[in-house]
Amino acid sequence: MANEGFSDYNSMFVTLRKRLSHNLQFDFNYTYSHSIDNGSTVSNENGNFEPGVTSVMCDVTDTSACRGNSEFDATHQISGEFVYDLPFGRGQMFGKGSGWLLNEAIGGWQISGIQTWRTGLAFTANGTDIAQFDTVSLAADTGVLFTGTQSAVSSNIHIDTANNNEVQFFANPTNATAAFSPVTGLQSGSRDTLRGPHFSNLDLAVSKNFPLLNERYKLQFRAEAYNAFNHPNFGIPDTGVTSGRFGVISGLAGQEPSRVMQFALRFDF
């Protein structure tokens, strides 16, 4: 944001940690935060504008008019990881007296995982199909003011059968479009008043340890699944109120398009 930029960030961080006992250990982290600025990218990004991002000063006569949610602001964020040794096999709750062969089959299994989740990122509804949005910006573009209600822009991602079966972010795209009005005179458009889709991902792993020669050596089989539940995380929808595609989602939020699995065999000596 050059030398006219300012930002403010406040947060609360809570963590819950369980050290290894009864075959289980985990970390749980929660962050409640709010980031505010008057522009989340550089003032002039060499003309490379990003959908939903304020790439130029929205009001060169009053920089505080641009003040709003940062485009990277996520109100709630949760992350956690766990490791659990299944209670089967020699010395465990079930099958603690197992012989060698049975223990090789049921013992040494472990499940682990990493979960991440956050609320949607802030984005701006634009009066044109590019990111600048008002008549007092550096580019003097037209823009939109949020004049409706929050219920009008409520989200419900669904297939819009009335519009070429496209993926639609807004519960009612007609009401969402009507919630914005064009700016007049030297007004500034409303910046980052909307929130995009939330993000959620779970990676899981299952492993099996095979002790060899009185546990002097160990063989481990491991299967890992990234995005284990094959859950799609949608990107920011089309932000152009006048584009005819307002709210249409056409991409994912920086993740593998589907579940990815890998297998490994490891020998420790």
The residue ranges of every structural domain in the chain are 2-268
- pLDDT of residue 131 exceeding 60, the answer is no
In the three-class reduction of DSSP (H, G, I as helix; E, B as strand; rest coil), residue 202 is classed as strand
Q: If you average pLDDT over residues 130-135, what whole number do you get?
A: 44
Q: If you average pLDDT over residues 187-195, what whole number do you get?
A: 84
Q: How far apart are CA 70 and CA 160, in angstroms?
A: 29
Q: How far apart are CA 150 and CA 67, in angstroms?
A: 19
The predicted structure's pLDDT at residue 3: 61
The predicted structure's pLDDT at residue 1: 45
Q: If you average pLDDT over residues 114-139, what whole number do you get?
A: 71
- pLDDT of residue 12 exceeding 60, the answer is yes
| Complete DSSP assignment for 121-186 | PEE--BSSSSS--STTSTT----EEE-S-GGGG-EEEEEETTTTTEEEEES-HHHHHHTEEE--TT
The predicted structure's pLDDT at residue 67: 85
Tokens of 150: 């929050």
Q: 125: Cβ–Cβ under 8 A, 6 or more apart, which residues?
A: 133, 144, 146, 180, 189, 190, 193, 194, 239, 241, 246
Could you tell me if 40 and 70 are in contact, meaning their C-beta atoms sit under 8 angstroms apart? yes
- Mean pLDDT is lowest, of 36-40, 41-45, 206-210, 223-227, for 41-45
Q: How far apart are CA 97 and CA 104, in angstroms?
A: 12
User: Cα(first)–Cα(last) distance of the chain, in Å?
Assistant: 55
| Complete DSSP assignment for 7-18 | EEEEEEEEEEEE
Sheet holding 166-170, edge to edge: 155-160, 166-170, 248-249
Q: How far apart are CA 179 and CA 153, in angstroms?
A: 7
| Complete DSSP assignment for 78-135 | EEEEEEEE-SBSTTSSBSTT--HHHHHHHSSEEEEEEEEEEPPPEE--BSSSSS--ST
Name the more confident of 195 and 137: 195
Q: How far apart are CA 57 and CA 138, in angstroms?
A: 6
The predicted structure's pLDDT at residue 34: 96
Alpha-carbon Rg for the chain in angstroms? 25
Q: What predicted TM-score, i.e. pTM, was given to this entire model?
A: 0.80
Tokens of 264: 């490994």
Could you tell me if 58 and 133 are in contact, meaning their C-beta atoms sit under 8 angstroms apart? yes
Q: If you average pLDDT over residues 83-94, what whole number do you get?
A: 91
- Mean pLDDT is lowest, of 88-92, 104-108, 127-131, 261-265, for 127-131
